[in-house]
Amino acid sequence: MATATAAPTANPAALGLVGFGLTTVLLSLINAGVLPAGGEGVVIPLALAYGGLIQIIAGLLEFRLGNTFGMTAFLSYGAFWWWFAFLLLFAHVGMIDIAGAGPTVGVALLLWGLLTLYLWVSTFRLPRILFLIFLTLWVTFLLLGLGGVMGAPNLSHLGGWLGLVCGSLAIYGSFGLVTNATWGRNVIPLGEKPFLS
């Protein structure tokens, strides 16, 4: 009697990483001063649709696969992009007033950095591409947060440049996952051997 073989499951991390990466690169170009600050309006729809919704979908798919790390990361950063987009939208249309918020946005970014730091600890047991993405991401949040709290645009610009590195690494990670899955072998190196085993 023949036994049924389950079809392989697609890896939702490929989708989640590119949604995060593209949105991060676009915003980081603004934070770094390469693109004008007025370009944040272009980031909002991308943050809602690709950075936000797509990562939330990826996180729910990771939940179905039993991947606690992937679920927590993608759902959290999907929610981050919605928070960012709604913050800008609500402030622009006058639903909220952040004129007197002072360092509050900077503190919020520091808290996102804290979340990222604790997720980074888990990446010591995961492929090295994830270690590098989360390393650059928590430092990016730290720089952006300190820049906001201290009113130091140079730190925010530095955070923008590091964010470009982080977003590019995430895009590379997605590229590797998609390419390797399509070819059925490791064509693009992702550092599959973790630092700690």
Contacts 24+ apart (CB under 8 A), 108-111: 108/145, 109/141, 109/144, 109/145, 109/148, 110/141, 110/142, 110/145, 110/146, 110/149, 111/145
The pLDDT value given to residue 6: 63
Mean of the pLDDT values across residues 157-178? 98
**pLDDT tens column, 65-110:** 999 999 999 999 999 999 999 999 999 999 999 999 999 999 999 9
| Percent above pLDDT 70 for the chain | 96
In this predicted model, what pLDDT tens digit does every residue of 175-193 receive, in sequence order?
999 999 999 999 999 999 9
Per-residue pLDDT at 15: 98
Quote the tokens at residue 137. 């991401």
Structure tokens at 193: 């051997």
Say yes or no to pLDDT of 131 above 80.
yes
Residues 24-37 pLDDT 10s: 999 999 999 999 99
